[in-house]
Amino acid sequence: MSEYIGERQHIAIIGGGAAGMACAATLAKHPDRFKVTLIEKEPVVGGQATSIDLDVQQHGASWMNNGVQGGSAIFKHTFNFFRQYDHPPQEVRLQVSFGKGKHRFWTNCFPSRLIKQFHSDIKRFGTFLKVIKWSLPVLGIVPISVMLRVFLFSKDFGDKMVYPLIALFLGTGNQTASVPSGIVERLFNDPNMKLWDYDSETLLPNLPTMYTFDKLHDFYAAWRKDLTSKGISFVLETEVQETVSRSKNNVVLKLKNMRSEESRQESFDKVVFCSLADETLRILGKTATWREKFVLGGASFYDDITVTHTDSSYFNEHYETHFKPELCAEPTSDVQRKQIEFSKSNDSNSDTGFRPMYYTYTYDCEPKLIEMSFNCSNYQHQFRQTETGSENTPKPVYQTIFLNKQRKDLWTIDKIDESQIIKKNWWHQLGHRWIHYLRVVPNMMFIQGKNSTFFAGSWTLVASKTLEHVVACLTYISQNMHEVACVSGVAAAYRMGADYDQFDDFATDFFSKYLLLSHGLVFSRQEKKRRNGRQESP
């Protein structure tokens, strides 16, 4: 049931990323109920959702988003917040380039030689998807690597097609082999969440519609300014060093100012941890319960680095960046002929032509492990808009992501020209291992609200009461962590007594699924109780 008991509560929100900001925004609607202090160790809010300034004369745009790129149409809560501050997302047709060379390359844009090589595997993959769909309560949680062997798919088919596809679009990176099979099934079959239509000839026949975000730095700055005007207190450049004590009615935190190095203790009625699971455990310290240690300790994180650069030579060496006739297989249908003609186009003033946005590079010695890249100039919408009258051809901007610092011996990072590097960012990223969905996901409800403490963030990876809903929500989440972070923050605020605005049926459905498992609340019942409570109030 709701935690709201009538008096105005002082809430501490730890972390100013999407989860923390969404939680604060939801609580801000009830200034009579909540006094909110958001604590963030960085000088700005936004978490990983940041932006980089660029030379507009060189690149054709004055900025680019970093850390978070975009999402699909189902990211209702994210887009709702964007539109409130006049930062709407922009539509783009997604093109992908998997692998390098005629023995590894394939794409969703036109038929490749690799597609012909795995013709029989691709046909049987449709049967695989059906079997997983019919048996979700049993087989859906089994790692994809196991199921590929059970169904006798060739090793090369998994290494060259299945793993890169999942790694790129579900954000699972080098942990892809451990991803539950049900997530893959939802990627193709769920009518609301799928990115692709399965095709028995080419696997991926379409260019799905995706959305790129507006300038995230400006959006978060506008969001913070508005929330400040509504009474939210932002304490920036401040680290939460430890939790001094917790009880049913009180939480005492030790805070450290990053500039002055001064520490102080502050008391709150409740705390919402919108930080990563391992960081949250560190802050909880000796006050962490055995259940919190079990649940939060089940989330695995890896250190990755994103290099933003302009090294076209590196990019062309490691990826297929342009249409080449030798990469193309003979078409077998009118549809495939049209795909080839579309991809051949070199008209830079039209939306035709092979201009990939996402790329993968597989290591020969470890084919389940990959590097990922973006051609941001092809992807982010601002590069396609004229910001300068210069006649010079803009210099493309790339981002290459190297996964898991423990395997940096495989990385090709040293081949990027240092003089062409714009920025390097280290990220502490969640690893989507199957054990996460057994240890963390179903047990979140048992630690929420205990000792005046709540948890939010994209790492919570919520599901619902049936495994079909589990994998549906996980697919939804993995495609873009920003959205589930927003939902988790709103859910924490709702649990404490704030209202949820039902602005969209799909958004409400996903929110209710999140609330069910992560907090153990049935949304429809809670709404009925709240309506009855308001009617009985004098």
The helix-helix angle for 18-27 and 481-495 (nearest 10°) equals 30
Question: Is 502 or 71 the better-scoring residue by pLDDT?
Answer: 502
Task: Identify the residue whose tokens are 């186009």.
Answer: 345
pLDDT on residue 237: 97
pLDDT on residue 193: 63
pLDDT band at 538 (very low <50, low <70, confident <90, very high): low
Q: Any residues with CB less than 8 A from the CB of 370 and at least 6 apart, and which?
A: 163, 164, 167, 168, 173, 174, 360, 361, 362, 363, 403
SS (H, E, C) 119-155: HHHHHHHHHHHHHHHHCHHHHCCCEHHHHHHHCCCCH
Evaluate if residue 224 carries a pLDDT over 80. Answer: yes
pLDDT on residue 1: 42
pLDDT band at 463 (very low <50, low <70, confident <90, very high): very low
From CA 394, how far away is CA 413, in angstroms rounded?
A: 24
9 token code pair: 């509560």
pLDDT on residue 67: 84
Q: CB atoms < 10 A from the CB of 533, how many?
A: 11
The pTM is what?
0.90
Residue of 22, 26, 13, 16 whose CA lies nearest to 497: 26
Under 8 Å between Cβ of 203 and 115:
yes
Q: What is the dihedral of CA 360, 361, 363, 367, to 10 degrees?
A: 30
How many CA atoms, within 13 angstroms, populate the side-chain half-sphere of residue 317?
Answer: 9
pLDDT band at 279 (very low <50, low <70, confident <90, very high): very high
Choose the weakest-confidence range: 28-37, 65-74, 325-334, 491-500. Answer: 65-74
pLDDT on residue 467: 40
Single-letter residue type at 230: K
From CA 464, how far away is CA 460, in angstroms rounded?
A: 12
How do residues 342-380 score in pLDDT, each as one tens digit? 999 876 666 789 999 999 999 988 888 889 999 999 999
CATH topology of domain 9-50+217-301+432-536: FAD/NAD(P)-binding domain (3.50.50)
How do residues 7-44 score in pLDDT, each as one tens digit? 899 999 999 999 999 999 999 999 999 999 999 999 99
How many CA atoms, within 13 angstroms, populate the side-chain half-sphere of residue 501?
Answer: 12
Question: Is 482 or 216 the better-scoring residue by pLDDT?
Answer: 216
Sheet with 251-257, strands from edge to edge, namely: 238-246, 251-257, 263-268
From CA 327, how far away is CA 316, in angstroms rounded?
A: 15
pLDDT on residue 209: 86
Residue of 99, 127, 129 whose CA lies nearest to 115: 99
Report the mean per-residue pLDDT for the chain: 88
From CA 373, how far away is CA 450, in angstroms rounded?
A: 41
Q: CB atoms < 10 A from the CB of 454, how many?
A: 26
Under 8 Å between Cβ of 61 and 6:
no
Evaluate if residue 500 carries a pLDDT over 80. Answer: yes
The DSSP string of 468-479 is HHHHHHHHHHHH
Evaluate if residue 320 carries a pLDDT over 90. Answer: yes
Beta strands 233-235 and 96-98 are: unpaired
Single-letter residue type at 403: L
pLDDT on residue 77: 95
Q: Is the torsion defined by CA of 476, 482, 485, 487 positive or negative?
A: negative
Choose the weakest-confidence range: 120-124, 164-168, 451-455. Answer: 164-168
Domain ranges of the chain: 9-50+217-301+432-536, 53-214+302-430
Evaluate if residue 72 carries a pLDDT over 50. Answer: yes
Q: How far is CA 55 from CA 49, 215, 243, 390, 523, in A?
A: 20, 15, 44, 12, 48
Q: Any residues with CB less than 8 A from the CB of 75 and at least 6 apart, and which?
A: 211, 480, 482, 483
Question: Is 438 or 219 the better-scoring residue by pLDDT?
Answer: 219
Calculate Rg over the CA atoms of the chain: 24
Task: Identify the residue whose tokens are 């051809």.
Answer: 393
How do residues 229-277 score in pLDDT, each as one tens digit? 999 999 999 999 999 999 999 999 999 999 999 999 999 999 999 999 9
Choose the weakest-confidence range: 113-117, 133-137, 315-319. Answer: 133-137
Task: Identify the residue whose tokens are 């990211």.
Answer: 75
How do residues 393-413 score in pLDDT, each as one tens digit? 889 999 999 988 999 999 999
Evaluate if residue 323 carries a pLDDT over 80. Answer: yes
Q: How far is CA 89 from CA 121, 199, 210, in A?
A: 37, 29, 9
With vertex at residue 377, the alpha carbon angle to CA 313 and CA 225, rounded to the nearest 5 degrees, is: 135
Average pLDDT over residues 208-237: 96
DSSP state for residue 213 in the 8-state scheme: -
